[in-house]
Amino acid sequence: FQKIFEEAPPTKPSGGIARPDVFADMELKAKQLVQNIGYVGAGTVEYLYNAANDDYFFLELNPRLQVEHPCTEGITDINMPATQLQVAMGIPLHRIPHIRRFYGLEDVHGSSTIDFHEVRYPKITKHVIAARITAENPDEGFKPTSGSIERVKFQSTRNVWGYFSVGANGGIHEFADSQFGHIFASGATREIARRHLVLALKSVEIRGKIRNPVEYLVELLETDAFKANDIHTGWLDGILRAKSIAVPTNTPRLVLAAVLYRSHQFVKSKREELEASLAKGQLSTVLVKDLTAFSQTITYEGLKYDFLVQKSGPEVFSLRLNDQSITAKVREQPDGSLLCAFGGATRKVHGLEEPLGLRIICDGVTCLMPTIFDPSELRTDVTGKVVRYLQEDGTHLDAGAPYVEVEAMKMIMALKTGEAGKFNHLKPPGSIISAGDLLAKLELSDPSKVAKVEPYQGAFDDILDIVEEDETAADKCALLLDGFERGDPTTLAKDLTDDNVNVVVDEAAQLLQRYLVVESRYAGRPMDAVVQELVAEHKEDLTKAIDVARAHSQLKQRTVLCQQILKELLQIYANRRASGVDPAPMTLVSALAQLAALPGDAYGDLALLALRVSLVANDEAPTPRTLDTRLFDKASLTRGYALIELETGSAAATAFLGNLSVETPSKLTKPGRGGEPPVVFVFFSAASDAFLGGAKTVQAALENVLEALALARRDAKVPVTSSSSVVIRFPGGWGHVEPENGLKALDAAAFAVAARLASLHVDALSVRVGSQDLSMAAPTSTDWPTFKSVSKEQADVFSPSPLAKRRATARRAGSTFCYDFVGLFAREVTKEGGDAFVADELVLQGDALETQAREPGQNDCGMVAWRCAASTKEYPEGREFVVVANDVTYQSGSFGVKEDAFYAKVSQYARAQGLPRIYVACNSGARIGLADELKPKFRVAWVDEKNPQAGYHYLYLTAADYQALPSGSVQGKLVGERFVLDAVVGEKDGIGVENLRGSGTIAGETSRAYADAFTLSYVTGRSVGIGAYLNRLTRRVIQMKQGPIILTGYQALNKLLGREVYTSQDQLGGPQVMHPNGVSHLTVESDVEGVAEIMRWLSFVPRVKGAPPAILSCADPIDRPVEFVPTKAPYDPRHMLAGATTDGRFLPGFLDVGSFKEYLAGWGKSVVVGRGRLGGAPVGVVAVETRLSEQRVPADPANPDSTEVIMPQAGQVWFPDSAYKTATAIRDFSGENLPTIIFANWRGFSGGTRDMYGEVLKFGAMIVDALVDCSQPVFVYVPPHGELRGGAWVVVDP
């Protein structure tokens, strides 16, 4: 006890226990003792006092000052260290002023002697109590602790004084004395001094890894025994033994403080992690979802409190415990502590995560929230697969024994037990496991090591929500739009009320603008591109970028809120007279226009609502649509379909979503896979004067129809797989236009809007002009999108295409049905001036390819091909090329044995004749199939049939089933009546590794084809595994924006990595990856644009391999001046090639005007390559970038430590990537029989360590190889102000 508290004086009646006369005798004996032994100096004589009979006993003499000497100083006003030094200097006690004053002598500086054996000092008039501050844990019997100290806060007052030997950022090591502070409180009586000490201890704040007894000391001081001084040397030991005193705790308060501390730290750490990740160039924002909603578990006193935590404001947390909701405000202070407002008060909270749990300090009360470990549960800390158990089920294992081998990241590792016990398997070998999965259980040898924790089922009483300060409905809506959880958005929007309706309109406009600030960035753009832009914009304060990403992560809730706001506005403006609303303010008009224009399915319903509000607010609401039954027989034109009406924004157009898989419109929903795809029906009544202006005005009419269709398809109920059927009626006939001319205008208009027809999935388009019925050719036809006459009976009845399901499957993959590419090629050839296009399907008959006329979709494998003949500007007499395409609707476009054989034959067919070969890639890689015929037959020999998780011995077939199978379809051995399986071969070829053999075959064939013919890949939808390799081996690649080129799917990689790293295939092989690395030469927005670029590329290529390229008659003569002249200052080399507009005047460049097309623009930016024409002759060009460019090496999302690297590249210098690009372009030009013009302007190669390591020497040498192998003329032209130095001269002049 005396190591915790000291007090003085010990005599009655000031509060002590000793009689004054007995204490005087003790003092006298102490003086005699030190005099007898000749000790001179300060010292302490200790006695043991028996208060029952006033006896005392000598304990020890300490010839020094002790740590409690300030108690003596406090009651005597004598400076003990100063007095000790003066005595050591030889000054007698009676000459020391402090001593003379203490003995009541008026002449404090006098020299009269004092008989200290006889003279008594005056009566003591105050009391002092001291408390030692130690690094000890009172919960464990004042067990010493060690560790760092972050903060010590104590303020001395007139009645309390203290000192600390350790300050902030200090510590107590394991070899030090545990005491590091001492507090002394004084008062006129012991009780007053006690009260002062209690208050002082309550104000002490100590934070760090050590424990301290401050709160416990307060409880001791408040005991009745201490107050009455009814204590003894065994008093504290008895209390500790009986655990009769504990710091009073409020369980709900401590648990809430703990969950708020952990939640705050969790969000803070996630933000810091995300900020650090973005600073490195990592573009994944997966962690954003953890900023707003997560779970937290607190364990305390045998109960587990499971909280659902939501961030509902910058400083506000909403907690859900069972059925109780609690709201709290949390603010971090500069010292790291938290001010938490909950339970009707604001509390100061400190926390520290320790190995044993969370130590939480709330309102000065310290508590440990323990981490519960259950050693009976054997869990994996890795993600992978169970390979085998190292111990038999039921075996007794010692602690630390290896029990299982698991495979993770291609490594085998053993997991070990933590305690001893009987071992039981749970996961069978071969199981796929994630970190934290339970693999096995131990029946512990010592069951006491299992902590029993029960979930808390109740609710916290007297916990009040905080009062939200001046938070309006608009404030709550704004917080939801900022990405915080604020409850039901519909309710929030309805709470936007005010006596002045115009205030509501202004608030609504501001909220809609707040939504647009975020979504206008994201709409229609790749996520990575948006994040990269945000990081660049806010690189000085990445929290702003995180705030935007957090808001977008709550897109669904934010959109629902804005939809409800728009509905409220719709009511206000629809009842403008009753509401008294002013005309729509410009802020609202602007917001509505922007919302209506947001691209993407996620914004469809919102855009429709915005358009409707805009029309109503401006008194432009369309006349209610009523389908003219004289023109449209809806029942026949939508035969068998359940319908729901859609918004078109036009009084002339009516639209419906139809579905064959439901009976009533009320049940109309998005269909599942396999059902008949929905159809969007649009009926449009057009004026006949549309034909008066020819193709231009007819095109305008068609565009109006398609605009209405586009609006209808924005409805969220319309799935992306749906097709469109458009019916247009011109009741007035051709008007004053001859039918032949009117039909030509209609065909021309259809050609002009063909890209829109394809993007809106218009598979059927019928037109009635007067009494003449016309129907658009099917997308699979070479006549698409022209019109042909049909009968009235055909025109009045809608018949879904037999290919509708397959088109829906292709659209689900993000592509176009393979047979519909025939129509896209035909349209492009005709659009570019050709007058004929024929596509003969190639079919494998036996071992040979034959052209065959058959209906589209009759293929029996996942690969189709055509031999195409086209009349083009370059070859009016016709040219041929071969198109081979994956059919993604056939077993997901996977490569099996038949597909491999067919692809190889088509490729060989094309290169044998020297024909250009176009590969349209949309696939899922090599096929891994299942022997379906065996699935219902195989049996499992379980270890325990009642517990399948215990594993199995083997798979088997019954003897009867085995004998019924064809020979060789399975391998194994007959054991009794069971055929135990070793391997499944299957009845059919093409479901196993034979597909990999075929993949190797077509990879080699594609490589050979590049040398023997012009090869080009167009990637749409996706291209996986061997599909990706075929694209690269083809060398020339055009990639559609929705066409990732990948080796492994992102979900599989996430499983391998054991965490959510990737969120889309685009992160692995989208255009933002494949264009900068040189795999993709071009990127396009749609399949229509993709086919256009294929034909444009073909326009530079000879009819067959080795033939001279076609030379066009050119309106741009070769003897005209090249008016754009390069300057000494850095300039854009594209201007030198294609020309540029300067001061309002176009200055032609080196090549024919309008002929230049750049390729590989995203890669090796210090060099520009492309194709163009010079005097009508096609050429390949290589030019030099004279300006500073950058090479961006993105951070690897799978490696959190990797960092984005931006490497500046000086102009007129070859770097590894641009040197490789140059060599690649020269080889491609040579393979296309194109002369090459090199506009040489290099100062040399970058020869620094980084670029030498990056293989610049190797790629520079490849330029020489490419030029040596080049079979076509190569011109090296040094442009004005150009230069060619050193190694650069060497490589271009081999």
1159 vs 1229: CA distance, rounded Å:
12
* pLDDT value at residue 383: 67
Average pLDDT over residues 663-679: 59
pLDDT for res 587: 94
pLDDT for 1209-1233, tens place per residue? 999 999 999 999 999 999 999 999 9
pTM: 0.78
Q: Is the pLDDT of residue 158 over 60?
A: yes
Rounded to whole angstroms, how far apart are CA atoms 1096 and 99? 110
Q: Which residue has the higher pLDDT, 296 or 689?
A: 296
Residues 77-135 pLDDT 10s: 999 999 999 999 999 999 999 999 999 898 999 999 998 888 888 888 899 999 999 98
Look at residue 469 in the predicted model and tell me its pLDDT.
Answer: 59
pLDDT at position 833 over 70: no
CA distances to 122, 391, 504, 1022 from 943, rounded to whole Å, are: 92, 15, 69, 43
Cα(199)–Cα(31) distance, integer angstroms: 37
Four-residue CA torsion sign, 230, 231, 237, 243: positive
* Sequence-ordered alpha helix ranges (H) in 58-185: 69-76, 80-88, 97-102
Residues 6+ apart with CB under 8 A from 162: 133, 154, 156, 181, 182, 183, 184, 200
User: pLDDT band for position 1197 (50/70/90)?
Assistant: confident
Mean pLDDT of 1026-1039: 97
Q: So what's the pLDDT on residue 284?
A: 84
pLDDT at 567 (0 to 100): 93
Label residue 435 by pLDDT band (50, 70, 90): low
* Average pLDDT for the chain: 90
Distance CA 729, CA 1171 (A): 46
Q: How confident is the model at residue 12 (pLDDT cuts 50, 70, 90)?
A: confident
Do residues 639 and 798 lie in contact, with contact meaning Cβ atoms separated by under 8 Å? yes
**pLDDT at residue number 660:** 81
- The model's pLDDT over 968-983, given as tens digits with 9 standing for 90+, comes to 888 999 998 899 999 8
Cβ–Cβ under 8 Å, residues 870 and 879: yes
Give the pair of three-digit tokens for residue 266: 């969790």
Q: Which residue has the higher pLDDT, 51 or 1034?
A: 1034
Residue 667 reports pLDDT greater than 80: no
**pLDDT digit string (tens) for 615-644?**
888 876 655 667 888 889 888 999 889 899
**pLDDT for residue 498:** 81
Give the confidence band of 671 by pLDDT, cuts at 50, 70, 90.
very low
pLDDT of the residue at 650: 86
Burial of 808 (0-12, 13-18, 19+ CB in 10 A): buried
The pLDDT-based confidence of 433 (bands split at 50, 70, 90) is confident
| C-alpha span between 717 and 713 (Å, rounded) | 8
pLDDT of residue 670: 46
Query: What's the pLDDT score for residue 918?
Result: 98
Cα three-residue angle 1141-1147-1152, rounded to 5 degrees: 115
Average pLDDT over residues 169-178: 80
Q: With a cut of 60, say whether residue 666 has pLDDT above it.
A: no
Query: With 80 as the cut, is the pLDDT of residue 1127 above it?
Result: yes
745-756 pLDDT per residue, tens = 999 999 999 999
The order of strands in the sheet holding 170-172 is: 170-172, 147-153, 205-208
* pLDDT band with cut points at 50, 70 and 90 for residue 1025: very high
**How high is the pLDDT of residue 834?**
64
pLDDT at 894 over 90: yes
**What would the mean pLDDT of 1034-1058 be, rounded to a whole number?**
91
pLDDT at 16: 81
In which band, very low, low, confident or very high, does the pLDDT at 1277 lie, cut at 50, 70 and 90?
very high
Contact predicate 1084/1108, CB 8 Å:
no
Give the other-Cβ count within 10 Å of 1272's Cβ: 17
Mean pLDDT of 557-564: 95
Residue 9, preceding bond cis, omega within 30 degrees? yes
Is the confidence at residue 511, as pLDDT, over 80? Answer: yes
pLDDT class of 669 with cuts at 50, 70, 90: very low
Note the pLDDT of residue 196: 96
Q: Is the pLDDT of residue 1081 over 80?
A: yes
User: Comparing 303-312, 604-613, 668-677, 683-692, which segment has the lowest mean pLDDT?
Assistant: 668-677
pLDDT tens for residues 989-1002?
A: 777 788 888 999 99
Instruction: Report percent pLDDT > 70 for the chain.
Output: 96
- Mean pLDDT value of segment 358-385: 80
Q: Where are the beta strands (DSSP E) in 622-702?
A: 642-646, 653-659, 679-685
Q: List, for residues 1253-1275, the tens digit of each pLDDT value.
A: 999 999 999 999 999 999 999 99
